[in-house]
């Protein structure tokens, strides 16, 4: 990960995801100097890119005492 992404993606920002305190929350990280290729004109360009990070796979149920059990248990 690049430096500015590490500043947003740290342990304290990821804890609410694992505890589901924020519902369907996502973290948006913007890279203002993303280097990409313009295929039409065959040149290298710098653009702004945004990425969203969120939980997309959850196979466990969190109980009231914050333990987890698998679905169907």
pLDDT class of 57 with cuts at 50, 70, 90: low
Enclosing domain of residue 52: 3-70
The number of domains in the chain is 1
pTM: 0.47
pLDDT at 8: 66
The residues, any chain, with a CB within 8 Å of residue 31's CB and separated by 6 or more, are 2, 4, 5, 48, 49, 50, 51
Residue 2 pLDDT more than 80? no
- Which residues are 42's β-sheet partners? none
Residue 22 pLDDT more than 70? no
pLDDT class of 7 with cuts at 50, 70, 90: low
């Amino acid at each position: 990960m690049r430096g500015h992404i590490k500043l947003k993606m740290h342990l304290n920002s990821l804890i609410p995801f694992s505890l589901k305190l924020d519902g369907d929350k996502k973290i948006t990280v913007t890279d203002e100097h993303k280097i990409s290729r313009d295929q039409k004109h065959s040149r290298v360009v710098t653009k702004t890119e945004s990425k969203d990070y969120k939980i997309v796979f959850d196979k466990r149920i969190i109980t009231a005492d914050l333990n987890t059990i698998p679905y169907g248990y």
